[in-house]
């Protein structure tokens, strides 16, 4: 699946809502919950976490053969370094240490994860673990994970740069980021995450910047690490070559004027009170035209600025490609007695 970051539009997809095993893509939500705790000032990046036995690989057979930061009980590690271990090393032990610190335990942290599932309207997703190892009832979809990735990129500027970090050294052990597209000089990939378990296959979410544009590719259930990278790269190249993300309406931009009755002016400017963008095939960009309709036949003063009075529709030929609110760009006061009487004679009689 390929999503445009700015607009959230899906540019191409196959079974994007199919529920699948997310594997370590689960850690995107783990990181998101940690960052929300930081934003709410419950914790800070500089807080020191004492690692418990439940985060120790030797004491947890479920961690056998899985990705680790290689923490030991009693280690004192900052939240920042644990976040790096989660993101770069995909450390299951780092996930447990963070869950214990933020929520007091893994079950409580998983409950927080599922609360944010609801807040982000991830309808195909439910989490059972903090790390993504196979668990009954745990599932997500390519679409939901793209939405989550978009939220991370937008809402975590202090953390997102970690997703582009190619290696991490901890306790004398250097590990490489498993996202091989970070080394692809043709794509400018700067995140996000890989995942793999025997039940999930090979998963990858990759985000790439092309000028002012950003695309998010999601591949789930590939047969190999190379296969997931090839599929994601193909999606990103295709999106960069065939689509542009363009500003179709600008805040305060006039799209038309209309007669207003009983005011101290006869015309009122109309437009939008927000910036709106669309991801469009490059061949269609120059063909986009705007038309609007009013909610009511006549506009009457007094009327405030930024009041909705209709709808703007964007067309590519006969095809509608977007609907947006039409608002007043200025306020119009009630006119004087004589001008209102004149308007009444022209308007009502």
Please enumerate, by residue number, every residue annotated as part of a binding site for substrate.
193
Q: Is 166 a catalytic residue?
A: no
Residue 73: partners with Cβ closer than 8 Å, 6 or more residues away: 51, 52, 53, 55, 56, 59
Q: Can you tell me the distance from the alpha carbon of 239 to that of 37, in angstroms, rounded to the nearest whole number?
A: 35
Q: Is 83 a catalytic residue?
A: no
User: From start to end of the chain, where are the E strands?
Assistant: 2-4, 10-12, 48-50, 76-78, 167-170, 173-176, 189-197, 201-210, 213-222, 243-249, 254-261, 267-271, 276-281, 288-294, 299-300, 308-316, 319-328
Q: In this structure, what token pair is assigned to residue 166?
A: 């190619």
Annotated binding-site members:
193
End-to-end CA distance of the chain: 60
| Helix H or strand E encompassing 97 | helix 92-103
| CA distances to 5, 43, 189, 204 from 217, in Å | 10, 32, 10, 8
- 194 close to 90: Cβ distance less than 8 angstroms: yes
CA angle 164, 127, 116 (to 5 degrees): 75
Q: Is 339 a catalytic residue?
A: no
Q: Can you tell me the distance from the alpha carbon of 271 to that of 229, in angstroms, rounded to the nearest whole number?
A: 44
| Helix H or strand E encompassing 252 | none
Determine how many CB atoms are found less than 10 A away from the CB of residue 38: 19
Buried b (16+ CB within 10 A) or exposed e, 163-177: bbeeebebeeeebeb
Which residue in 24, 83, 140, 141 is the catalytic one? 24
DSSP letter, residue 322: E
Which residue in 66, 67, 83, 90 is the catalytic one? 90
Write phi, then psi, for 158 (nearest 5 degrees).
-80, -10
Q: In this structure, what token pair is assigned to residue 264?
A: 């101290």
**Which of the residues are catalytic?**
24, 27, 90
């Amino acid at each position: 699946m390929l999503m445009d970051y700015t607009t959230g539009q899906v540019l191409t997809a196959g079974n994007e809502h199919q529920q699948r095993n997310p594997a370590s893509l689960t850690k995107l939500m783990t990181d998101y919950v940690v960052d929300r705790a930081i934003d709410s000032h419950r914790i800070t990046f500089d807080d020191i976490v004492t690692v418990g036995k439940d985060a120790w690989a030797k004491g947890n057979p479920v961690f056998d053969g899985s990705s680790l930061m290689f923490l030991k009980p009693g280690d004192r590690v900052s939240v920042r370094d644990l976040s790096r271990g989660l993101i770069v090393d995909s450390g299951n032990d780092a996930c447990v240490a963070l869950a214990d610190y933020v929520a007091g335990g893994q079950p409580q942290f998983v409950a927080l994860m599922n609360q944010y599932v609801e807040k982000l309207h991830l309808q195909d997703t439910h989490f059972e673990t903090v790390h993504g190892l196979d668990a009954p009832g745990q599932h997500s979809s390519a679409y939901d994970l793209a939405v989550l990735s978009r939220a991370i990129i937008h809402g975590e500027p202090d953390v997102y740069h970690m997703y582009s970090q190619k290696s991490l050294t901890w306790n004398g052990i250097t590990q490489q980021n498993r996202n091989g597209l970070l080394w692809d000089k043709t794509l400018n990939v700067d995140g996000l995450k890989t995942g793999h378990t025997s039940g999930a296959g090979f998963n990858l979410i990759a985000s790439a910047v092309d000028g002012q544009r950003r695309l998010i590719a999601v591949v789930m259930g590939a047969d190999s690490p190379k296969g997931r990278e090839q599929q994601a790269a193909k999606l990103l190249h295709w999106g960069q070559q065939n689509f542009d993300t363009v500003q179709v309406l600008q805040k305060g931009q006039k799209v038309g004027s209309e007669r207003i009755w009983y005011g101290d002016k006869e015309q009122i400017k109309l437009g939008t009170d927000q910036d709106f963008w669309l991801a469009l095939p490059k061949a269609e960009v120059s063909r986009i035209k705007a038309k609007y309709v009013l909610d009511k036949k006549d506009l009457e003063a007094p009327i405030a600025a930024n009041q909705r009075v209709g709808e703007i529709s964007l067309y590519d030929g006969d095809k509608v490609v977007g609907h947006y609110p039409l608002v007043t760009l200025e306020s119009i006061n009630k006119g004087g007695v004589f001008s209102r009487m004149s308007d009444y004679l022209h308007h009502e009689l």
